[in-house]
Amino acid sequence: MSEIITLPCYHGRYGTKTFRNPVDLAEMVSWCDSHSHIWFAAMQGDARECKINGKVRTWKRDKNRVEVPVKYGLYEYGTFYLHDINRILIPVDILKCQKGGNDEIR
Protein backbone atom coordinates (compact mmCIF):
# COMPACT_ATOMS: atom_id res chain seq x y z
CA MET A 1 0.00 0.00 0.00
CA SER A 2 1.35 3.41 -0.88
CA GLU A 3 1.31 6.53 1.26
CA ILE A 4 -1.83 8.69 1.22
CA ILE A 5 -1.18 12.39 0.55
CA THR A 6 -3.39 15.49 0.42
CA LEU A 7 -2.53 18.13 -2.17
CA PRO A 8 -4.09 21.45 -3.21
CA CYS A 9 -5.74 21.32 -6.64
CA TYR A 10 -4.64 24.02 -9.09
CA HIS A 11 -2.80 26.17 -6.49
CA GLY A 12 -5.66 25.73 -4.02
CA ARG A 13 -8.32 27.34 -6.22
CA TYR A 14 -10.35 24.10 -6.17
CA GLY A 15 -9.65 23.06 -2.60
CA THR A 16 -7.68 20.00 -1.64
CA LYS A 17 -7.98 16.36 -2.63
CA THR A 18 -6.55 13.14 -1.23
CA PHE A 19 -4.42 10.91 -3.46
CA ARG A 20 -2.02 8.00 -3.46
CA ASN A 21 0.68 6.95 -5.93
CA PRO A 22 0.42 3.74 -7.97
CA VAL A 23 2.13 0.81 -6.27
CA ASP A 24 3.77 -0.57 -9.41
CA LEU A 25 3.84 -0.40 -13.19
CA ALA A 26 0.89 -2.79 -13.65
CA GLU A 27 -1.36 -0.63 -11.46
CA MET A 28 -0.33 2.52 -13.35
CA VAL A 29 -1.10 0.92 -16.73
CA SER A 30 -4.46 -0.51 -15.60
CA TRP A 31 -5.48 2.83 -14.05
CA CYS A 32 -4.59 4.76 -17.22
CA ASP A 33 -6.33 2.18 -19.44
CA SER A 34 -9.58 2.39 -17.50
CA HIS A 35 -9.83 6.20 -17.11
CA SER A 36 -9.97 9.07 -19.59
CA HIS A 37 -8.41 11.64 -17.24
CA ILE A 38 -5.60 11.26 -14.73
CA TRP A 39 -4.27 13.46 -11.94
CA PHE A 40 -0.59 14.28 -11.67
CA ALA A 41 1.63 16.21 -9.29
CA ALA A 42 2.86 19.41 -10.95
CA MET A 43 6.36 20.75 -10.35
CA GLN A 44 4.87 23.50 -8.13
CA GLY A 45 3.61 20.83 -5.70
CA ASP A 46 -0.09 20.93 -6.50
CA ALA A 47 -2.36 18.39 -8.19
CA ARG A 48 -3.61 18.89 -11.75
CA GLU A 49 -5.75 16.86 -14.10
CA CYS A 50 -4.95 15.98 -17.71
CA LYS A 51 -6.66 13.97 -20.44
CA ILE A 52 -5.21 10.73 -21.76
CA ASN A 53 -4.73 11.49 -25.44
CA GLY A 54 -4.31 8.02 -26.94
CA LYS A 55 -3.58 4.42 -26.16
CA VAL A 56 -1.24 3.49 -23.33
CA ARG A 57 1.74 1.90 -25.07
CA THR A 58 3.64 -1.06 -23.61
CA TRP A 59 6.38 -3.22 -25.10
CA LYS A 60 6.68 -7.01 -25.08
CA ARG A 61 10.48 -7.09 -25.15
CA ASP A 62 10.94 -4.47 -22.44
CA LYS A 63 8.33 -4.82 -19.68
CA ASN A 64 9.53 -1.63 -17.98
CA ARG A 65 8.86 0.55 -21.02
CA VAL A 66 5.52 2.34 -21.00
CA GLU A 67 4.24 5.58 -22.55
CA VAL A 68 1.04 7.41 -21.59
CA PRO A 69 0.26 10.26 -24.02
CA VAL A 70 -1.57 13.17 -22.36
CA LYS A 71 -3.06 16.54 -23.23
CA TYR A 72 -3.17 19.45 -20.81
CA GLY A 73 -5.09 22.56 -21.76
CA LEU A 74 -5.54 23.68 -25.36
CA TYR A 75 -2.01 23.47 -26.71
CA GLU A 76 0.13 21.44 -24.30
CA TYR A 77 0.89 17.77 -24.99
CA GLY A 78 3.21 15.39 -23.21
CA THR A 79 4.00 11.80 -22.34
CA PHE A 80 4.35 10.09 -18.97
CA TYR A 81 7.01 7.35 -18.76
CA LEU A 82 7.89 4.79 -16.10
CA HIS A 83 10.19 7.24 -14.28
CA ASP A 84 7.15 9.54 -13.88
CA ILE A 85 5.24 6.95 -11.83
CA ASN A 86 5.74 9.01 -8.65
CA ARG A 87 3.96 11.98 -10.33
CA ILE A 88 0.82 9.99 -11.26
CA LEU A 89 -1.88 10.35 -8.59
CA ILE A 90 -4.84 8.08 -7.89
CA PRO A 91 -7.74 9.76 -6.01
CA VAL A 92 -8.63 8.09 -2.71
CA ASP A 93 -12.16 7.75 -1.35
CA ILE A 94 -11.81 8.88 2.27
CA LEU A 95 -14.99 7.10 3.40
CA LYS A 96 -13.51 3.69 2.53
CA CYS A 97 -10.36 4.56 4.49
CA GLN A 98 -12.39 5.46 7.58
CA LYS A 99 -14.42 2.21 7.50
CA GLY A 100 -11.29 0.22 8.13
CA GLY A 101 -12.65 -2.76 6.22
CA ASN A 102 -10.89 -4.94 3.71
CA ASP A 103 -12.27 -2.87 0.84
CA GLU A 104 -9.71 -1.88 -1.76
CA ILE A 105 -8.95 1.85 -1.78
CA ARG A 106 -9.72 3.47 -5.14
CATH of the domain at 51: 2.30.30
Give the three-class secondary structure for 106.
Answer: coil
The pTM assigned to this predicted structure is: 0.81
For the chain, the domain total comes to 1
Residue 106 belongs to some domain of the structure: no
* Tens-digit pLDDT string for the chain (106 aa): 578 999 999 988 999 999 999 999 999 999 999 999 999 999 998 999 999 999 999 999 998 999 999 999 999 999 999 999 999 999 997 545 444 545 454 4
Max alpha carbon distance in the chain (Å)? 44
Q: Are 9 and 46 in contact, with CB atoms under 8 Å apart?
A: yes
Residue 21 belongs to some domain of the structure: yes
Range of the domain at 80: 4-99
Q: What is the dihedral of CA 3, 101, 47, 69, to 10 degrees?
A: 90
Residue 36: alpha-carbon gap to chain centroid: 11
Q: Are 49 and 76 in contact, with CB atoms under 8 Å apart?
A: no
